[in-house]
Amino acid sequence: MDITPILEHLNDAQRAAVTAPPGPLRVLAGAGSGKTRVLVQRIAWLLTVEQANPWSILAVTFTNKAAAEMRARIEQLLEFRASGLWIGTFHGIAHRLLRYHWREARLSQHFQILDADDQVRLVRRVLRGLELDEKTWAPKQAVWRINAWKDDGLRAAHIDDRDDPLLRTHVRIYAAYEAACERNGVVDFGELLLRTVELLRDDATLGEHYRARFRHVLVDEFQDTNQVQYAFLKLITGQRGDVFVVGDDDQAIYGWRGARIENIQRFEQDFPGALTLRLEQNYRSTAVILDAANALIAHNRGRLGKRLWTDGSRGEPIDVYAAYNDYDEARFVVERIQRWVEEGGRRAECAVLYRSNAQSRVFEESLIAAALPYRVYGGLRFFERAEIKDALAYLRLLANRDDDASFERVVNTPTRGIGERTLDELRGVARERSVALWQAAERLLAERRLAARAANALAAFLALVERLARDTAERPLSAVTAHVIEHAGLLAHVRKDKDGKGEDRAENLEELVNAARAFETLPEELEGMRPLDAFLAHAALEAGEGQAEAWEDCVQLMSLHSAKGLEFPQVFIAGFEEDLFPHYLSSQDPEKLEEERRLAYVGLTRAQRHLTLSFAERRRLHGQEIYPRPSRFLREIPAELTRDVRARATVSRPLYNPGPLVQAESDTGLQLGGRVRHPSFGEGVVLALEGAGAHARVQVNFKAAGAKWLVAAYAKLEKV
Ligand SMILES: Nc1ncnc2c1ncn2[C@@H]1O[C@H](COP(=O)(O)OP(=O)(O)OP(=O)(O)O)[C@@H](O)[C@H]1O
Ligand SMILES: [Mg+2]
């Protein structure tokens, strides 16, 4: 076997890491120093030189996209299919283990995955059950707490709440939520991991089995592991395992989601004899960009300390653009991208990064106006669109009738005359008898406790789902999906939408059929799973990440958080303003401020050749006109590395007036054509927005009640 390709293009330090003898090893190194590359070559090294069985390798990456790229790279290096190898995200891997061992994990066989939205809905129901008022016990906050506990590996029963009545209530909510998930046969993202950890910990045979099997464990972006992920690593590697982690303490940006930077330090204690290697040469960016990043991050304390250098070119100064307002900022960036493309660059080489997802809209408008194709990562993803979630909910009900979240979602979609009153009765019965809504419905019907009209409508719904199940049994997944979309009436339902988006939605539904087709022959790592379960799990796990559409040359838009690990020749970071970046919730707390600075460091170090930073002197944010100050992070970059491009751009800069429509949009958080729910009028579509601030008014066409004008601030509209 020729090992040259594996060791080519590696410097000495990198080679030392790739070829180190098996055993715990940690690579601590800055951005662009080749950590990910080293991890890939290490896998190739293990497979060839160490003769490791592919079956014995487990590699953890941060996104599914990174996992796919990693697999492709390895196959390219080795010139054979890397089958048997497990590469995935923590969630993906945990999910796979739970599918194999659902019985041991005490899950129902066809358990479904709850996404963030479903979680909030479920907590709402739990609150009703506990007779707690949503105004006092905000569902989103409860979800946030539950997730944080799970990330820390804590069950409701473990939390000491003796002296804190507030905490006690949250723990009660958590316990009731756990019970509801159990009843419904659903698990949330945090549960995937926690359940897996409990499984490996409590089931000695299984734990032993996997420890013996996964002799080699490798983890990218190690600085962003949380407690429960770390516990998983320890359980799967045992004390003496060959565990290879790469990370950068300066790029830890998920503290707010429970990631523990301390895990980098704990590694030494938990894996005795661990070796530490450092990489210091950066191969990604120009010297100017690197100097700027180094200077910025030097403002943080308590760093493990490292300095990056490059022997590449010095490069151009970093452009700093002071925009009049957010529209002017977007216009400037789009012009630059146009120029890049005219000069022969590719659109996909340009990335626009921002702190807050809400910033993408203005860029999208400008890109559309300039007819530049773009893709937003982390925006409203395919699998999160309302019509797609409706279709998936039907499929989920076919897989598992106890899935209450799905039941609630589609029991009256398309409208079939099942009102809130009937639903409330159902929920009451479900609660009293500790059963799922489906069973509650069956019993209410059997006991003839409903008014005739409601009973007929409900019976028709149950019959519909049963009929769908019968008619699609034994058929290929794409046919099942197409059948459900058609016969549940979803296609006709979206076509009726009066907001002009009906055809788009219908196309999305048809796209879902294509997506399902891809799951008719399962990839090796999902073998043995029912295609429907595999498909639904994929929809839930991929939703967090961006559209998995065919590759196309488009401008890349994403938040700074999702840019982690990536690189682009041309990077724009927008909104370098106090209160936006650093975020206003973080600027008062020294630790959070440091996390924001690390995020800025991640942003700067994504750039290979050109970097442009911009801020606006006026911006609409959270419905208010603000006049932000430039970010402190700008001042932390030495002036000699930057170039002010404001003067040149002033020549023909129209003062863009966003106009009342756009103002109202950002004011209310509502969107033209968006679907909303009103506490008494039910579901509808936003037809018009008008005015600003406290006076913003919105016109909604309600399915049941027709078109109405409402004052946005009082209407209690909820987006669906
Ligand atoms: N020895 C080398 N010679 C040439 N190019 C290299 C070398 N090592 C890494 N590179 C290139 O440098 C770039 C950065 O590498 P990589 O993405 O692995 O860095 P990283 O440390 O994982 O960065 P991040 O911290 O941002 O994830 C890549 O384009 C990679 O191909
Ligand atoms: Mg990397």
Name the active-site residue from 118, 151, 198, 220: 220
pLDDT at 650: 41
Test site for ligand 1: of 6, 249, 251, 284, most ligand atoms within 8 A of the Cβ? 284
Q: How far apart are CA 302 and CA 249, in angstroms?
A: 10
Q: How far apart are CA 86 and CA 88, in angstroms?
A: 7
**Listed residue (322, 321, 328) closest to 657, CA to CA:** 328
Number of helices and strands in the chain (H, E): 29, 21
Test site for ligand 1: of 11, 26, 37, most ligand atoms within 8 A of the Cβ? 37
Structural domain ending residue among the three candidates 217, 252, 279: 279
Confidence category of residue 533, pLDDT binned at 50, 70, 90: confident
Q: How far apart are CA 17 and CA 30, in angstroms?
A: 15
Q: Let me know if residue 174 belongs to a domain.
A: yes
Least distant ligand from the CA of 563 = 1
Q: Both 331 and 389 in a single domain?
A: no
Q: Let me know if residue 101 belongs to a domain.
A: no
Average pLDDT, the chain: 87
Q: What is the CATH number of the domain that holds 122?
A: 1.10.10.160
Q: Both 332 and 369 in a single domain?
A: yes
Q: Both 638 and 566 in a single domain?
A: yes
Q: Which range has the worst mean pLDDT, 279-283, 407-411, 616-620, 635-639?
A: 616-620
| Contact predicate 231/260, CB 8 Å | no
State the residue range of the domain holding 135: 112-184
Q: Both 522 and 454 in a single domain?
A: yes
Q: What are phi and psi of 704, to 5 degrees?
A: -90, -40
Q: Which range has the worst mean pLDDT, 333-347, 447-461, 656-670?
A: 656-670
- Residues 119-175: tens digit of each pLDDT: 888 999 899 889 999 888 899 899 999 999 999 999 999 898 878 888 999 999 999
Q: Both 365 and 431 in a single domain?
A: no
Flag whether pLDDT at 659 surpasses 70.
Answer: no
Cis peptide before 476 (omega within 30 of 0): no
Q: Both 256 and 301 in a single domain?
A: no
Name the active-site residue from 14, 36, 196, 570: 36
- Residues 51-73: tens digit of each pLDDT: 999 999 999 998 877 888 888 88
More confident call, 9 vs 27: 27
Q: How far apart are CA 54 and CA 37, in angstroms?
A: 19
Q: What is the CA radius of gyration of the chain?
A: 27
Q: What is the CATH number of the domain that holds 473?
A: 1.10.486.10
Q: Residue 168: CB partners within 8 Å, gap ≥ 6?
A: 161, 162
Flag whether pLDDT at 656 surpasses 50.
Answer: no
Q: What 3 state SS string does 150-183 have? A: HHCCCCHHHCCCCCCHHHHHHHHHHHHHHHHHHH
Ligand 2 geometric centre to CA of 36 (Å): 4
More confident call, 524 vs 153: 153
Q: Let me know if residue 189 belongs to a domain.
A: no
| Contact predicate 668/692, CB 8 Å | no
Q: How far apart are CA 427 and CA 307, in angstroms?
A: 59
Q: Respond yes or no: is residue 220 known to be catalytic.
A: yes
Confidence category of residue 476, pLDDT binned at 50, 70, 90: very high
Q: Let me know if residue 106 belongs to a domain.
A: no
Q: How far apart are CA 405 and CA 399, in angstroms?
A: 13
Q: Respond yes or no: is residue 36 known to be catalytic.
A: yes
Q: Which atom of ligand 1 is the closest one to the Cα of 39? A: 18
Q: Both 393 and 482 in a single domain?
A: yes
Q: How far apart are CA 32 and CA 279, in angstroms?
A: 10
Q: Both 369 and 233 in a single domain?
A: no
Q: How many domains does the chain divide into?
A: 5
Strand partners, 240: none
Sheet-wide strand order for 216-219: 86-88, 57-60, 216-219, 242-247, 25-29, 275-279
The residue whose C-alpha atom lies closest to atom 18 belonging to ligand 1 is 34
Structural domain ending residue among the three candidates 630, 649, 668: 649
Least distant ligand from the CA of 290 = 1
Q: Let me know if residue 103 belongs to a domain.
A: no
DSSP state of 221: S
To which H or E segment does residue 376 belong?
A: strand 374-376
Q: Residue 678: CB partners within 8 Å, gap ≥ 6?
A: 684, 700, 702, 710, 715, 716, 717, 718
Confidence category of residue 500, pLDDT binned at 50, 70, 90: low
Q: How far apart are CA 259 and CA 370, in angstroms?
A: 40
Ligand 1 geometric centre to CA of 285 (Å): 10
Tell me the one-letter amino acid at 448.
Answer: R
Flag whether pLDDT at 566 surpasses 70.
Answer: yes
The residue whose C-alpha atom lies closest to atom 30 belonging to ligand 1 is 34
Structural domain ending residue among the three candidates 514, 545, 576: 545
Q: Which range has the worst mean pLDDT, 14-18, 78-82, 172-176, 394-398?
A: 78-82
Ligand 1 geometric centre to CA of 144 (Å): 35
Flag whether pLDDT at 381 surpasses 70.
Answer: no
Flag whether pLDDT at 526 surpasses 80.
Answer: no
Test site for ligand 1: of 36, 220, 286, most ligand atoms within 8 A of the Cβ? 36
Q: Both 625 and 678 in a single domain?
A: no
pLDDT at 35: 96
Q: Respond yes or no: is residue 251 known to be catalytic.
A: yes
Q: Both 291 and 209 in a single domain?
A: no
Q: What is the CATH number of the domain that holds 689?
A: 2.40.10
Name the active-site residue from 37, 331, 606, 609: 606
pLDDT at 319: 96
Q: Let me know if residue 105 belongs to a domain.
A: no
Q: Both 616 and 669 in a single domain?
A: no
Q: Let me know if residue 465 belongs to a domain.
A: yes
Q: Respond yes or no: is residue 221 known to be catalytic.
A: yes
Ligand 2 geometric centre to CA of 35 (Å): 5
Q: Which range has the worst mean pLDDT, 113-117, 565-569, 602-606?
A: 113-117
Flag whether pLDDT at 652 surpasses 60.
Answer: no
Test site for ligand 1: of 39, 43, 283, 566, most ligand atoms within 8 A of the Cβ? 283
Q: Both 92 and 234 in a single domain?
A: yes
Which residues line ligand 1 at a C-beta cut-off of 6 Å?
Answer: 9-11, 14, 29, 31-37, 248, 251, 283-284, 565, 567, 605
Least distant ligand from the CA of 18 = 1
pLDDT at 534: 86
Q: What is the CATH number of the domain that holds 272?
A: 3.40.50.300
Span 220-246, average pLDDT: 91
Flag whether pLDDT at 504 surpasses 90.
Answer: no
pLDDT at 658: 33
Q: Is 552 exposed, middle or buried (0-12, 13-18, 19+ CB in 10 A)?
A: exposed
Q: Let me know if residue 102 belongs to a domain.
A: no
The residue whose C-alpha atom lies closest to atom 14 belonging to ligand 1 is 32
Span 645-651, average pLDDT: 51
Q: Indicate the annotated binding residues for ATP.
A: 29-36
In terms of C-beta distances under 8 Å and separation of at least 24 residues, what long-range contacts does 205-209 make, across chains too? 206/101, 206/104, 207/235
Residues written for the chain: 720
Ligand 1 geometric centre to CA of 547 (Å): 25
Name the active-site residue from 14, 196, 229, 251: 251
Strand partners, 319: 612, 643
| Contact predicate 178/130, CB 8 Å | no
Cis peptide before 531 (omega within 30 of 0): no
Q: How far apart are CA 289 and CA 39, in angstroms?
A: 25
Proportion of the chain above pLDDT 70, given as a percent: 91
Ligand 2 geometric centre to CA of 221 (Å): 7
pLDDT at 664: 40
Pull the structure tokens for residue 251.
């790029």
Flag whether pLDDT at 447 surpasses 80.
Answer: yes
Q: Which atom of ligand 1 is the closest one to the Cα of 40? A: 18
Q: What 3 state SS string does 560-596 have? A: CHHHCCCCEEEEEECCCECEECCECCCCCCHHHHHHH
pLDDT at 262: 84
Confidence category of residue 519, pLDDT binned at 50, 70, 90: confident
Instruction: Give the three-state DSSP class for 625.
Output: strand
Flag whether pLDDT at 481 surpasses 90.
Answer: yes
pLDDT at 1: 65
Task: Count CA atoms closer than 13 A to 634's CA, side-chain side.
Answer: 24
Span 497-501, average pLDDT: 68
